[in-house]
Structure 1
């Protein structure tokens, strides 16, 4: 999408999910949904306004490690040591709950020669290769740290995303599209409605709110236009005409 439109078009959205079953995702537009589909809807007009914001609420902890071996979205080695072994060491008893527990401990990734860091969820583990399958590419020489969060930090991040997207608007928003990572839902558990309530408190009762839980969120970094694939964020797009 970036290669076709350059940096002059705002692109936001998310990847389909199946409620953390990791079996099959489907989507469709004016047809029966099926696998392998992409739906894109374009908006334009002289009075049309769109703003966005993303926030995660995840906090890095532990030492930074260097990615010394990877291929695409598969991470093999950190500091020349098997990545999965290191990950299990930091998780301790929680490692027995892998791969499910990995959604609660994503990686903060700083890619070489890029100013912004990005969060990457761990989707699966490969015991035979001591490797981890991530929700996006992880280039060699990147720096990574484990991340963690709690319910309050997740909810507060949703509030910050709503406020930041709202503060830069010229007109009152009419529609709010919320894309929240499935990993956030797992953290919130019984309190899953709290991040929606935080958004509602910022935007008011008149704004229509819609959205879904995703396996990845699509939006630019703040103050940029080139879209990126994010994990573990609340991505909010506000629309009006």
Structure 2
């Protein structure tokens, strides 16, 4: 497996795409992952420039807007990055697109996954989604018996929660899910970091609908948060305060749901990026910058002990982490490039939600949806 990443800070969409395409052309990539900020004036022009620079239309391309981008040489708020992969034909790639994720997140996701495994079982799948949906319903589509892991995330904007775009080939999409499957001898490792500090006591979700919680532990949901933290949730706390969902049967399956005041229909309810079922127990969590970075460094160090040589790293990390870490967000890339020096190609994006399994029992759990989480996918051969 050969890989290359690069970025551009050009503001003109066609010229930015052209620079990325020309830069990847010598690699002759089989597949390209493209990440960019929301600020480009015309995303069709960005894709047109990319394909013109690459010089051919056969490459499989998918990508999305995020709150900026990550790349080996730069972590930026404005611009674009691309990651190209070439397995010299050893790995086969297949793209599937589903529409209507806003109204039917579970059905749209299931249809994409079914298409990917219709003829053979993938080794790994990568999934991107429009954020304007109930992310927990996507998680429901990742059954326990799904025979391959899925990693990915939710497209974003500049943390305004207004719009986002997905890319599939030359298509610019909204209200969609875009999936990529890899078949064959692909080596990979998935690391998930969600080190948040748990506060107070747990409480049971007694009333909820969609992405809103109404009652926890006999209290209005917002009153429960205030009881455990000692203060109400403010708009400025978006991404800082989260709930960890407790699975009594599998305590190692730690999932986080970020609290989003914008999604609350009243002062007493709690809005989330993804819903939590009634009957689940939750605890309040707070993000600590040093704990977040410490876990990123531990994941990077663990990557040095793998039994294969990673050539590419894909990072999907919550925009809430970016808000808390500020300039320290660059460490989420720097840690892995320090641990694996040389030609490691790195790209990714700050997201409105992260997707990936957790390591357990020598393998991986079912695929889960996360918030305030750092997902690191390492790819080799």
TM over 0.5: yes
Out of 205, 213, 228, the position equivalent to 2:350 is 213
Alpha-carbon distance change, 166 to 142 in structure 1, aligned in 2, over 3 angstroms: farther
Larger Rg, first or second structure (1 or 2):
2
Cα-Cα RMSD: 2.3
* 1:79 partnered with 2:195: no
In structure 2, the partner of 1:69 is 207
Give the Cα–Cα distance (whole angstroms) in 1 for the partners of residues 275 and 249 of structure 2: 15
Structure 1 position 203 matched with structure 2 position 343: no
SS at match of 1:77: strand
Paired position in structure 2 for 1:146: 284
Q: Is the 8 A contact 1:156 1:195 kept in 2?
A: no
Quick one: structure 1 residues 141 and 93, their matched pair in 2 at CA, closer, same or farther if it must change by over 3 Å?
A: closer
Separation in 1, partners of 2:249, 2:180: 33
Task: Indicate whether 1:235 and 2:375 are aligned.
Answer: yes
Residue pairs, 1:46-57, within 5 angstroms? 46=185, 48-57=186-195
CA contact (8 A) 2:212 2:264 kept: no
> Tell me, which stretches of 5 or more residues in structure 1 are unaligned?
none
What TM-score do the two structures reach when normalised by structure 1?
A: 0.88
Q: Match of 1:38, SS?
A: strand
Determine which structure has greater relative contact order: mean sequence separation of CA pairs < 8 Å that are 6+ residues apart, divided by chain length: 1
Asked if residue 182 in structure 1 is aligned to residue 319 in structure 2, the reply is: yes
Q: How far apart are residue 92 of structure 1 and its match?
A: 5.2
Change (3 A) 1:82 1:11: same
Alignment partner of 1:134 out of 272, 286, 301 = 272
Find the aligned partners of 2:280 and 2:304 in 1 and give their Cα distance.
Answer: 33
Separation in 1, partners of 2:231, 2:352:
26
Measure, in 1, the Cα distance between the counterparts of 2:153 and 2:147. 20
Report the TM-score when normalising by structure 2: 0.57
Contact kept in structure 1, 2:318 and 2:353, CA below 8 Å:
yes
Partner of 1:15: 154
Cα separation, partners in 2 of 1:92 and 1:143, compared to 1, 3 Å: same
Shift of 1:93: 5.9
